[in-house]
Amino acid sequence: MKVFIALCVIGLALAVPLEKKWPIPRQDGSVSWLTENEARLEALPELMAFNTKKLDSIKYFLYTPYNLDTAQEIIEGDLESLKKSNFNAKHPTRISVHGWGGKWDNSQNMLIKNSYLKNGRNEVYNVIIVDWSVYSDSSNYYASKSKCSVAGAALGKLIDWMHSEVGLSFASLDLIGHSLGAHVVGFAGKTVTQGKIHTIYGLDPAMPLFSYDNPKTRLASTDANYVETIQTNGGLKGFYSPIGKASFYPNGGKHQPGCGTDVDGACAHARSVTYFAEAVKMGLKNDFLPDKCGSFDLLKENKCDIHVYGIRMADPYNYGRADGVYYLKTNSKAPYGMGVSGE
């Protein structure tokens, strides 16, 4: 009888699934494989510290062709700050959000800002950079990840307010987010009440501790009229499974040429921003031309051979035309765009 009970206990233990371990990034660039509970316990001091933070600690900085290098702060609820700025509702608006450990004036945000404002094209933009470093500049990834929804809701509130007060157009509004910032813009798209975001670009959306099966908790293909993802470090820092209406996989989506061994994936993760900025800056000369994959499984097998015309990664004309999974090759250094199928 005792043997029978022991066998039953062993059987039950074996039947209980092991809790999934995630590659949790560290500030020093290393990665620790932890369960969500383990990550949460580590984050408790930071989470408690976050309770003292106020939403007005999230800030918004505007750049236009008339203040290319000098930011103008827009304060949600302070109409005077908006009226004194160079914001012009007649021009399309782009909002950029940094990831974990980032700040509003980091090189990646400046690269995106300059790709819109210093590219020699005739179109004039309002570029707003979100500073949610009050939460993102944390030593603990889990703690910052837990505040993506808070930062996204604050951004959604700003967008609604600007629409109501000065006519910010949803029809010409694109949001760009890198890593955790991709989920922040996803939550912004989920929470706006005055309209629907035109386009969201998710640049290698962060994967650790986000569930593919629960789109309510992450960037999802329904958060804007069109959601495009550029996935460059899948399975480590970024999502590998497609989460956009159109998902682009440079060089297969895991590793990027020119990044060397890149053990922690930092180089490949950042390349999503570099590729996006180059594509925007090049405009009609955008040379990131993909092949379409019949399925995600075919992408994983490197069997994408459906030639498409008129689709370019990060091209505004993808709206209403691009969907599914796309593969493309890049060069190992700038310029990264290679043309059709890397030819």
Question: Where are the chain's structural domains?
Answer: 2-342
At residue 137 the predicted structure's pLDDT band, cuts being 50, 70 and 90, is confident
Cα→Cα distances 42→26, 136, 141, 264, Å: 12, 16, 10, 20
Q: Average pLDDT in the 227-245 region?
A: 97
At residue 12 the predicted structure's pLDDT band, cuts being 50, 70 and 90, is very low
Q: Is 269 a catalytic residue?
A: yes
Q: Average pLDDT in the 89-93 region?
A: 97
| 11 or 290: which leads in pLDDT | 290
* CATH superfamily name and code, 2-342: Alpha/Beta hydrolase fold, catalytic domain (3.40.50.1820)
- Catalytic residue among 179, 221, 247, 272, which? 179
Summary mean pLDDT of the chain:
91
pLDDT of residue 342: 43
Q: Say yes or no to pLDDT of 107 above 80.
A: yes
Cα(331)–Cα(343) distance, integer angstroms: 11
- Catalytic residue among 131, 160, 174, 204, which? 204
Q: Say yes or no to pLDDT of 35 above 70.
A: yes
- Catalytic residue among 269, 272, 287, 291, which? 269
Cα(246)–Cα(243) distance, integer angstroms: 8
pLDDT of residue 17: 55
- The least confident of 31-35, 63-67, 232-236, 247-251 is 31-35
User: With contact defined as beta carbons under 8 Å apart, do 194 and 230 qualify?
Assistant: no
Buried b / exposed e over 60-72, threshold 16 CB at 10 Å, is bbbbbbeeeeebb
At residue 9 the predicted structure's pLDDT band, cuts being 50, 70 and 90, is very low
Q: What is the pTM of this model?
A: 0.92
Among the listed residues 244, 238, 239, the one whose alpha carbon sits nearest the alpha carbon of residue 222: 244
Q: What angle do CA 18, 19, 21 make, to 5 degrees?
A: 115
- In the block, tokens 């999230």 appear at 58
Q: Is 179 a catalytic residue?
A: yes
Stated as kind and residue range, the H or E segment containing 111 is helix 107-117
User: With contact defined as beta carbons under 8 Å apart, do 151 and 184 qualify?
Assistant: yes
